[in-house]
Structure 1
Amino acid sequence: MTKTLTNLGFLILLFCGYSAAVTANPADEAETLIQELAAEKGYPADKLRTLLQGASRNQQVIDSLNRPAETIHTWKTYRPIFLKQNRIEAGVAYWEKNRATLDRAYAIYGVPPEIIVAIVGVETFYGKRPGSISILDALYTQAYHYPKRYQFGRAQLKAFLQILMEEQMEPAMAMGSYAGAMGTPQFIPTSYLSYAVDFDGDGKRDIWGNDADVIGSVANYFSRHNWQKDQLVALPGKRIEPGQPYYIEPAQGATKPDTPLNALASAGIAPTLPTSISPDALATVLHLQGAEGAEFWLGLNNFYVITRYNHSNLYAMAVFQLSQEIRALKNGAAS
């Protein structure tokens, strides 16, 4: 009983603190954030205040956040969104344009060009669709005008102000999505602070207009999430019927590899393994609902790493298959 009352009291206090935070005057809350950053980073409070004075509530952000959940996709409906010929051809063009930079990123981080190209292809069609909403307004709105996103919005707004100070950027330069994802690779501000790199040495980490920084930042993100150089991403598996070992229902959420390939091979699920992969490498069984019925895949470590960018098996499979199509077209065009 004591434990129950203690937990209840904690929840009441937590709720009261949360409610007070999200119902307080936005100007007062913004000033608190300014004082935090000034104390932690030594930034001039007046400069931070000037930056935040330009922020405003954006009704479009609120409307987008309130929009009913998007249609739940299966692989049958998700794949055609990204595996289109124009996206594949544009990926080859982006690769050719940035060949030297992609090669350098591969040498440093071990992430192959086709994966980096596919990420920016899926995220923003190679920088052509990065979003048109002010990141400052999007995060200010979430922090102080949308209680459900208060914690996220405040943390990302704080990180964004740090970016503006460190990069000496004007807020108007930073555009992106209503959720606060920025630039060509759609990094949220905390990801930018952790993973963005100045890949061309010009003193800026520009993920909006500098392909070199975009490429280096995506490669660094993958490397920091344990991408394994020259290792496979996924293998097609053999069909598994309900009741058989390792059968799973179709799922969109990512699962970390936990089963040795040799165990899956013994169960008749894995294909003949290429010599480039260790038979005791870990994999996870993926069940996707494709255009022609059930598809089974074996996701390896690098497949899981892609899901660290977006926690969806459908997303990771779209990136993987787009990368393969881009590489195939590029190699075919070069032959």
Structure 2
Amino acid sequence: MRSCFKFRRKNLNLYFGIFLFLSSFSICWGHHTQLSPKAQENMRDFISSLSAKYNFDRSYLERIFAKVRPQRKALNLIRPSKTDKSQTITWDHYRKLFVNKDNIDKGKRFISTYMLSLEKAHKKYGVPPEVIAAIIGIETKYGKNQGKFPVFDTLATLAFERSDRENFFREELEAFILLCLEQGLSINKIKGSYAGALGIPQFMPSSWRTFAVDFDQSGKTNLLTSPKDAIGSVANYLKKHGWDKNIPTHSVAKPEPGSNAKQFFTYELQAEYRYNDLQKGGFKDPLNKIPAYLDVSLVDLKLRNNKIIYWLATENFFAITKYNRSYKYAAAVLELSEALKGKSAP
């Protein structure tokens, strides 16, 4: 990875010149950005930093940023109000959004079409085909819905306006610019999610540059139109974030009366407790999927009837939460993956 980055950096100026030449036809003229005055000040500081860091021509950078279109909808979505009902959606409702007949049928067709690549990824990274397919299905309906937000404008808005995560999005904006240079992508034509994620697996730009793999051996990583590259990249991402082919993902926990669930929760998205200790604390695995020596944490999935389902979550479960920091997301991925194997009904 280090030697690859050195190669990239040596060639960034060449890429930058080509990129600006190709981009100039569509962004050379027009009104200036409608970002707020403070955001424009932040943008100028960013341009100065980027120019100094990579020896880019400042005037060229200013031309690229001159027509940034503020994405107010993305800004509102990234910082939802405290009364936003989506933040309190229950597990049974959330599950139906993703574990349904349409996703299962399309997922099985996706697996059938790309079984060779999925098996190759399973062999290399240890991630089962159904888990890879489930993530791609939940993220983009197996590549069909990659988002409608212009990625450059979206990342610039979130980086320079008050998104509450400005530093994160400035890093992603920088990564996106470098990604476009390296991949020969048109910076103002790529669309993605309201958070700036893009491609079939909805990688953030920095994740693309770090974890994407050329699984179809085309000579570059193409997450926009290559399902094979997406398959390999998702598997590589999970592997790099702790996926272990030798352990289960989870099991349902059956609590005994009077047991205290909170003592086995995690706030670090990791398996922190020996399962044997959870057994002693009143949380047992009726399916006997979890070995006594394995580390797990307790995950609570709340239902509309105010009941709670508890899962014993292993490091594989938490590897999925590194993709999307949500227990419900990881649970939906695993429920959909089970359905794709034909082991459960939608």
TM-score, L = length of structure 2: 0.78
1:165 aligns with 2:181: yes
Among 304, 318, 331, the alignment partner of 1:317 is 331
Report which stretch shifted further, 63-72 or 107-116.
Answer: 63-72
Aligned pairs for 1:171-320 (under 5 A) are: 171-241=187-257, 243-244=258-259, 246-248=260-262, 255-267=269-281, 269-271=283-285, 274=288, 278-290=291-303, 293-320=307-334
Where in structure 2 are there 5+ consecutive unaligned residues?
A: 1-35
Aligned residues of 2:78 and 2:163 also touching (Cα < 8 A): no
- 2:141 is the counterpart of 1:128: no
Offset of residue 136 of structure 1: 0.4
Task: Write the distance in 2 (CA, Å) between the matches of 1:285 and 1:150.
Answer: 32
The corresponding residue for 1:10 is none
Task: State how 1:46-125 maps to structure 2 within 5 Å.
Answer: 48-65=61-78, 67-68=80-81, 69-71=84-86, 72-125=88-141
- Percent identity over the alignment? 30
Structure 1 CA distance, aligned partners of 2:266 and 2:294?
A: 22
1:188 to 1:70, Cα distance in 2 relative to 1, 3 A: farther
CA displacement 1:156-178 (0-9 Å, x = unmatched): 21111111111111124421012
State the secondary structure of the residue aligned to 1:209. Answer: coil
Cα displacement (A) at 1:142 = 1.6
1:181–1:286 distance in 2 versus 1, CA, 3 Å: same
Q: Distance in 1 between matches of 2:281 and 2:72?
A: 54
Q: CA deviation at 1:273?
A: 6.7
The ranges of structure 1 where at least 4 consecutive aligned residues each deviate by more than 6 angstroms after the TM superposition are 249-254
- Provide the aligned length of Structure 1 versus Structure 2: 306
What is the aligned counterpart of 1:33 among 43, 46, 49?
46
CA distance in 2, matches of 1:287, 1:41: 46
Distance 1:285 1:149 in 2: 29
* Kept in 2: contact 1:253–1:312 (CA 8 A): no
Contact kept? 1:115, 1:319, Cα under 8 Å: yes
1:139–1:153 CA contact under 8 A, matched in 2: yes
Seen in structure 2, the aligned counterparts of structure 1 residues 289 and 63 have a Cα distance that, compared at 3 Å, is closer
- Cα–Cα, structure 1 residues 150 and 269, in superposed 2: closer, same or farther, change >3 Å? closer
**Deviation string for 1:27-53 (max 9, x for gaps)?**
x64454344334434556565455434
Letter in 1 for 2:296: A
Contact 2:127 2:238 in 1 (8 A): yes
- Residue 147 to residue 92, structure 1, CA distance change in 2 (3 Å): closer
Letter in 2 for 1:264: L
* Residue 14 (structure 1) aligns with: none
Shift of 1:284: 1.1
Q: Which moved more, 1:321-330 or 1:122-131?
A: 321-330
Alpha-carbon spacing, 1:191–1:41, altered in 2? closer, same or farther (3 Å): same
CA distance, structure 2, for counterparts of residue 83 and residue 308 of structure 1: 20
Query: What residue number does 2:341 align with?
Result: 327
SS at match of 1:148: coil
Structure 1 spans left out of the alignment, 5+ residues: 1-21
Greater Cα shift, 28-37 or 283-292: 28-37
Q: Distance in 1 between matches of 2:343 and 2:105?
A: 8
- Indicate conservation of the 8 Å contact 2:148/2:191, yes or no: yes
Q: What is residue 13 of structure 2 aligned with on the other side? A: none
Cross-structure match for 2:156: 140
Deviations along 1:80-110, one digit per CA (max 9) or x if unpaired, are 1111111111111111111111111111111
Inter-partner Cα distance in structure 2 for 1:281 and 1:65? 36
**Is the alpha carbon distance of 1:108 and 1:151 closer, same or farther for their aligned partners in structure 2, counting shifts above 3 Å?**
same
1:166-198 Cα shifts (integer Å, max 9, x gaps)? 111112442101221112212112222221222
Inter-CA distance 151–88: structure 2 relative to 1 (3 Å threshold): same
The letter for the 2-side match of 1:160 is F
